[in-house]
Structure 1
Amino acid sequence: MVRTPDSTDVSRAGRRAGRGARDVAHSTPVRVAARVGIAANGVLHLLIGWLAVQVALGSGGQADQNGALGAIAAEPTGRVFLWVLVVGFAAVVLWRTVSAIWGFGYVGDRTTQLTKRVVSAGQAVVYAALAVAAATTALSGRASSGGGGRATAGLLGLPGGQVLTVLVGLGVLVGGGVMAWSGWQKKFTEDQDLSGADSRLRRINARTGQVGFIAKGVAIGVLGILLGVAALTFDPQRANGLDSALKTLREQPFGVFLLVAVGVGIACYGVFCFLDARYHRVT
């Protein structure tokens, strides 16, 4: 007689699968690859910062992740490097997913632990999108464009799309504000183990993190405002991703100087990512 699995068997299988996922995510190869992924994000932000400065000085180009990936693809060995980025980003997705479920045991406060898990889940989604974008660029040899506008158009096309877009815009605006505030308060150091870093590296880590988080927060906040404008005008091209946000900054009074400052700040975030790749608690 064939025994039918009961709820206990299912529960045991679930626990085994969970332990297996944790073991894989905490294994040395995945931890090393996750650090590669964090450093790869630094490369992207250095390129985005450089592209933002180029836009500020009047040249064309796409100052966002797709623009940065396209710049990498244009190099002789760019496609090979893009596949390295894909592997690193995929490892970060696995690590962040497991952290969202079981991570941050070193945090004593339950509310703070829950907040960090939610943030980790969001980062898993972001890195998954980066992995897909890098893989797509590696396969085609060029980066896509206009993705932000298409996403906004799809959102506006839903029932109640204008209200939904405004709400998403408010969420993005708040997210940008939180990121800038976290940078000012140096909250990013809570997830780092700097015990092995000397005082000079600690200062560089703190300053690049502060400037980088604030600059990214400003850019993300502008994107949130543009989503609201897109909803009110029913024009999805008003919110065509980070590229639109940065180019909107350039159109403001003293916008060239403002965009150069933000571009340099985003590049500082890239430098911070290299340090974070070394000192982040990848556990």
Structure 2
Amino acid sequence: MDIAQHVPTPPPAWVKNMARFGLTAKGIVYCLVGILAFMAAFELGGKSEQSSDKSGVFQFILEQNFGRVLLAIVAIGLLCYTVWRFLQAFKDTENKGDNPKGIGVRIRYAFSGFVYGALAFYAAKLVLGNGGGGNGDSRETVAKELLQQPFGQWLVGIVAVGTALAGLHQIYLALSDKYKKHVQSAGLKHEAEAMMIRAGKIGYIARGIVWLIIAYFFLRAALHANPNEAGGSGSAFAFLESSSYGSYMLGAVAIGLLFYGIFMFMRARYQVINVG
């Protein structure tokens, strides 16, 4: 990637600190998503499925004592995670190379950077008091914008397929144990490593399920040319809640997302961070 020549590389200590701070912020978000979704599943504290997505988590943080400060810290952490992902993509700090497989992995890093960059931007707007005008599902907005383009239904369908592949990849990571590379290079004791591996496996499966449901929503939006049928994680939680044994299904996925957040904390503490 020629763009890598124009991307400055921060000092190694900065890269490591950004990565660990970013992984910690991501862990906080997923732990809160899991907790709020679990509360929604069993009607605890008046929480609903739609208030359990990431934008709902930001609102929850904002409502706490010193909420604006806490959310600002989370926003900075997500921004750090974004920068780290872009460094992985454009500076190839993980040494994935320029072959098709390596390029594919680096594109995935860049996509992750864009996603969490958007989340950091939304959190920052809330901190500044400019984002309170409704939950406004961003995926509905994306679907609406795409449907207005030529071949819009096909574009939304491509997003659906891409989202489904991302969900399947999460489940593949869990079942193939490929995520263990984040753990086994840290030199942990057997008990800590086993705990981290279990948390990661459960978390990746739960995350994959949510992504697959979101892909289903995008597919419906494409087939019916209706952006209102697209939805995010809040809609996915509501879908699970409405299924057979819905509370238990949503509760299980919520626990899985909580485990994913814990896995991010462990990665922040123990993962070896490559700096190029």
Normalised-by-shorter TM-score class:
0.7 to 0.9
Q: How far apart, CA to CA, are the structure 2 residues paired with 1:201 and 1:107?
A: 28
> Aligned runs of 1:1-283 on 2, under 5 Å?
15=5, 17-18=6-7, 21-22=8-9, 24=10, 26-58=11-43, 59-60=47-48, 61-105=50-94, 112-140=101-129, 144-146=134-136, 147-192=138-183, 194-283=185-274
**Which sections of structure 1, spanning at least 5 residues, go unmatched?**
1-10
Which entry has the higher C-alpha Rg, 1 or 2? 1
Question: Which digits, 9 at most, give the CA deviation of each residue in 1:39-78, with x for residues without a partner?
Answer: 1111111111112112222442512110111111111111
Question: Which digits, 9 at most, give the CA deviation of each residue in 1:183-202, with x for residues without a partner?
Answer: 12222222456433111110
2:175/2:201 contact within 8 Å kept:
yes
TM superposition shift of 1:125:
1.0
Q: How far apart, CA to CA, are the structure 1 residues paired with 2:150 and 2:102?
A: 36
Q: TM-score, normalization: structure 1?
A: 0.85
Q: How far apart, CA to CA, are the structure 2 residues paired with 1:208 and 1:255?
A: 23
TM superposition shift of 1:242:
1.2
User: Identity of aligned pairs, percent?
Assistant: 27
Instruction: Summarize the Cα distance change of 1:116–1:278 in structure 2 as closer, same or farther, 3 Å threshold.
Output: farther
Partner secondary structure for residue 52 of structure 2? coil
**Which sections of structure 2, spanning at least 5 residues, go unmatched?**
none
Q: How far apart, CA to CA, are the structure 2 residues paired with 1:50 and 1:142?
A: 23
TM superposition shift of 1:157:
2.1
TM superposition shift of 1:102:
2.6
Q: After TM superposition, which residue ranges in structure 1, 4 or more long, deviate above 4 angstroms? A: 104-112, 141-144
Report the RMSD for the aligned CA atoms in angstroms: 2.3
Q: How far apart, CA to CA, are the structure 1 residues paired with 2:184 and 2:113?
A: 21
